Each structure stands twice: as C-alpha cells, then as structure tokens.
Homo-oligomer: A and B are copies of this chain.
C-alpha cells in the first residue's frame, strides 16, 4: 500500500480510537491494530501521538467546514438564515453518525489546557463560529444557539444516551426534543445495539 493510502487509513482508525477512548486513553497500539499495522509504524509515520491527534483534529474540522459550506451553497440564493440554520443542524446530525470524527473534535475541546492542542481546538471552534456568522448569515444569537445545539448533541452521543432510547422513557423524551434528526439518531441506536 502506498504511503498516502496508509496515511488515510491510519487517520481514519485514529479518529475512531481517539473518539472512543479520549486523547490520553487512546494508545498508538490500539490505533495501529485498528489500522492493521504495527505500533512503531504509526509513530514512525506521524512522529508523535500528539501530532497524530492534531492531524485527526484538522481533518475532522475540514470535513465539518466543507459539509456546512456545501449545505449553504446548495440552498437557494436568498434562503432565510433561520431556515439555513435548521438545514445545517440536520447536516451536522448526519455527520455525527461518524462517531469517531465528531467525538475526536469534542475530545479536542476538552483539551483546552494542553499547550499544543488547546490553541488548535480554540482556533477550530472559532472558525466554525465565523463560518455560520459570515457565510451563512447567522446573527450572533443564532450562531450561539446553533453551537449550543451542536455541543448538546455531542454530549448526548458521548454519554451514550441514544443507546437507551427505547429502554428509558426519560432519555427518549430528551432525545426527541434535542435531536434535529430523530431518524438519524435511531439509525445510530440500532447500529449500536447490533
């Protein structure tokens, strides 16, 4: 396999592992196993674990921004920002299906105190804010609401509430009122229970 192909598959595996175990809890060995290579090879290719995480973070952010821009571009010109907000929220919920990608982002947010990761996470977060404000035309209030909803969704997925959707009526009620895309959540659920 070529260098670039390997890079891609390792980064993909790393996103899943980092999302599931967190930055500190994830091991380069677990990433290696998930990607089907040896542990030293992962280190060799990315230098350090920290650097590997930074690349995962950057990738996740890129995908997020790209997706949002596509939704904005595909909306008819002159679409109301409020409507656009619902569309982007929906796209975000869909993106959340890829647990690793988004949970890695969330893990990055929790590492604000880290001297190398903190600045990258803050910059990424502000980049998203600027995108919805400048490119989607959200008011600061709308942008805040949008990001709040996103953080809530991230938390609900991280805490594992969707898995209790049909065993706990309170969890169900909460999810029904917070998930912009109920169908997607349920799809996740059934996948999780399988």
Q: Which residues does A use to contact B, with CB under 8 Å? A: 20-25, 106-107, 109-113, 118, 121-122, 125-126, 129-130, 140-141, 143-145, 147-149, 151-152, 154-155, 158-161, 164, 168, 170-171, 173-174, 176-178
Contacts and interface: CB of A to CB of B under 8 A. Distances in A.
A22 B171 contact: no
A26 to B, nearest CB: 9
Contacts of A177: 140-141, 143-144
A161 B126 CA distance: 9
A112 B145 CA distance: 25
A190 B159 CA distance: 32
A22 B24 contact: yes
Contacts of A107: 110
Contacts of A151: 148, 151-152, 154-155
10 contacts: A22-B23, A22-B111, A24-B25, A109-B155, A122-B160, A125-B159, A126-B170, A141-B177, A148-B149, A151-B155
Contacts of A22: 22-24, 110-111
Q: How many copies does the complex hold?
A: 2
B164 A20 contact: no
B20 A140 contact: no
Contacts of A113: 20-21, 160
By Cβ-Cβ distance, the 7 closest A-B pairs, closest first, are: A112-B160, A148-B152, A112-B159, A24-B24, A24-B25, A148-B148, A140-B177
A20 B154 CA distance: 20
A141 B179 CA distance: 11
A176 to B, nearest CB: 8
Nearest to A127: B170
A7 to B, nearest CB: 26
